[in-house]
Structure 1
Amino acid sequence: MTRQPPGPESVEQRMVDAERELFAGLGADVDEFVIELGQTGRRVRVLAHGRGPAVLLLHGVSLSAAVWAPLFSEFPQFRLLAVDLPGHGLSDPMAFGRGQVREQAGRLIDDILDALGLDEVPVIGHSLGGMFAMWHVAAGSRRISALVAIGMPAVALAGVRVRMPLSLMTVPGLGSAFLRSPSPRPVFRRLLARGLGPAEVAAAPNALIEALRLSSRRRANARTVASLMHAIDRFRRPRAESVLTGTELAAIRIPTIFILGSDDPYLSVDGARHSIQRIPGATIHEMPAGHAPWLVDPHSAALLAADPLARRGSANPVD
């Protein structure tokens, strides 16, 4: 990744320091490395934990790979590969365009798997990451062998509403300025609670909250997230092309489970059920949480996710 070494007061260095505090507090031995993406020409950071068959973790919009840290020790039998998506964490930025975002997401996932040397892999996806994975499978790719969608998969399912603070990010110009504006820690916590849920923010380690706050402050990250939100959403509703059709849902023929919070702010579990029932064999597990259930109860979330991962684990582990 081409960037100047961060200075002692840089946002990047403070973010790295917060992540190190987070991993130390959780007792997680995390490897960090960078992969170069052939098609998209980006360099992205990977946080890896454990040994065994590989599992790819894709986070939600405006978050970073560090958000998965509470799950790391819950999967000792797998090599968890948590990726900073472009324009998140410490990865290179990327501009997403209206009418192009599905194709861009598909190339991105293929690029990541190629760079990691994985022919196929199970995926745990949160929000945006879950939507990207669903788009990829629905388009006919066989490189995702199983999918655990935790939290509503962004706007992939019919009935989702875009709400504050995400709706501000959909407005050109305003979105980037909003993300980069200095947010005192209490203000950021309140905004994050609106996006993820108050139980999630109350349960999350302080070092994780700080790492996410600093990640959102990076200028390139703010531009990427703003372009992405404008590409997939209108101010209050998703763009029609973001939502999977019934035919596309029926084309998802891999082991698929949804771990959804009973208080998810974007769509109720009952509201999601009609769409999910169109996916052959898909199952729904409900947890007392909001949009990021593993932050509230990582052990229970891991138990629910373990079975499809074990049955469809990657055949090519990454060391």
Structure 2
Amino acid sequence: MTQPILEHDSVAFQAARNAENQLWADFHLKPKTRWFKIAPDDLRVRVLEFGHGDPVLVVPGNTGDPYALAPLLPQLVGYHVFVMARPGGGLSDGFDHEQVDVHNFAVDLFSQIMDKLDLKSAPIIAHSMGAHWATWFALAYPDRVQQLILLGNPGRMLMTKTPTLLKMAMMPGLGKWFMKRQIPKSAKRAWGPLHRMGTDPAAVSALPQSFADCVYAFDHLPNYQLATLSFLRTMNQEKYHNALKESQLRELSVPMTLIWGTNDTFANPELGQEIAAVVQHGELLTVNGAGHEPWIDDPKKVGTIVRLRLKENHLRAAVSQTSANEW
């Protein structure tokens, strides 16, 4: 089988792109869009490029829509930020995750994208299931990942219980019904997903209408349901063996910072404490009252934490280079 492409001249594509452009304008952002074809199927993968400075790779959660990160990106001024829209979301081509070995695909995807961006190594900021994929890559290629900054519950790490919403999505015959209930029927009703993820209502009300327009437009792209359901199944069903277990996380040598909202509806911070205790260089920092996308609740606090970690990373690299030169 071949993977589904996303027609760039379609009405749905244009609507999503226009909504996203307005969102970037509302947050005073001017991204550069780059397109790459990924082997072996020549999937078109979109990367958005922001700012100048030390490079940082950013990986969105869910199926990979960059727009959700709009409140965080202005906090990263002074860095050269590359936001990767994984196949299946973010105007990259569609993707049926059940056609591939997702673990191997994820590791290869990161490798190819970093090669195409001429990034030998970089810090990675990632959200939710994007954080899970980033951790897979860090385990496979620790020399290419300077540090992991993971936002929200990072996918299927040490998680022994599947949240009820995800169980419903994976049950035979209920997947399409689940998606019908989750996809907003209008932009005015597009705030629902944020509320279901534990985001503070006050933070939701502070977002521009263009954010809701993006939720509606991207959720109505033709391959969204296929990408989402196949992604949830491959990442959460036991038969695919894609959970990250304690034995794997103990092998992780890359520093990991977990930034976790106390109202994250997928898992509470206690799980974050367990993860931070298992990895060799782990730390959990919580955002009080925040949901699964903590930068929406408190962009300044999350931005401050992220910048501090990136600055520390830069200093470590400088010290390491000085020591190497002296040797």
Q: Same fold by TM-score, threshold 0.5 exceeded? A: yes
1:80 paired residue number? 81
SS of alignment partner, residue 47 of structure 2: strand
Structure 1 position 135, deviation (Å): 1.8
Measured in 1, the distance between the counterparts of 2:299 and 2:115 equals: 29
Of residues 228, 232, 255, the one that matches 1:229 is 232
2:95 paired residue number? 94
Unaligned runs of 5+ in 1: none
Unaligned runs of 5+ in 2: 318-327
Given residue 107 of structure 1, which amino acid in structure 2 is its aligned partner?
D
Alignment: residue pair count: 309
Measured in 2, the distance between the counterparts of 1:263 and 1:310 equals: 28
> Aligned in 2, Cα 1:240/1:35: closer, same or farther, shift over 3 Å?
closer
- 1:124 and 1:149 in contact (8 A); partners too: yes
> Following TM superposition, where does structure 1 have runs of at least 4 consecutive aligned residues deviating by more than 6 angstroms?
none
1:254 paired residue number? 254
2:144 paired residue number? 143
> Aligned in 2, Cα 1:154/1:275: closer, same or farther, shift over 3 Å?
same
Of residues 214, 219, 223, the one that matches 1:216 is 219
Pick 1 or 2: higher relative contact order, CA cutoff 8 A, min separation 6.
1
SS of alignment partner, residue 164 of structure 2: coil
- 1:59 and 1:127 in contact (8 A); partners too: yes
1:60 paired residue number? 61
Alignment of 1:1-319 (within 5 A): 4-6=7-9, 10-39=11-40, 41-62=42-63, 64-97=65-98, 100-164=101-165, 166-171=166-171, 174-175=174-175, 178-179=178-179, 183-195=185-197, 197-199=199-201, 201-234=204-237, 241-288=241-288, 289-312=290-313
- 1:47 and 1:66 in contact (8 A); partners too: no
* TM-score (normalised: structure 2): 0.85
Largest Rg, 1 or 2: 2
**After alignment, is 293-302 or 166-175 more displaced?**
166-175
> Can you list the C-alpha shifts for 1:49-70, whole angstroms capped at 9, x where unaligned?
1101211111111450111121
SS of alignment partner, residue 143 of structure 2: coil
SS of alignment partner, residue 75 of structure 2: coil
Q: Kindly, what percent of the aligned residue pairs are identical? A: 23
* TM-score (normalised: structure 1): 0.87
Measured in 2, the distance between the counterparts of 1:152 and 1:20 equals: 28
Given residue 123 of structure 1, which amino acid in structure 2 is its aligned partner?
I
Measured in 1, the distance between the counterparts of 2:282 and 2:161 equals: 19
SS of alignment partner, residue 150 of structure 2: strand
- 1:262 and 1:286 in contact (8 A); partners too: yes
> Aligned in 2, Cα 1:171/1:39: closer, same or farther, shift over 3 Å?
same
> Can you list the C-alpha shifts for 1:20-68, whole angstroms capped at 9, x where unaligned?
2111111112212212223453111112111012111111114501111
Measured in 2, the distance between the counterparts of 1:54 and 1:117 equals: 10
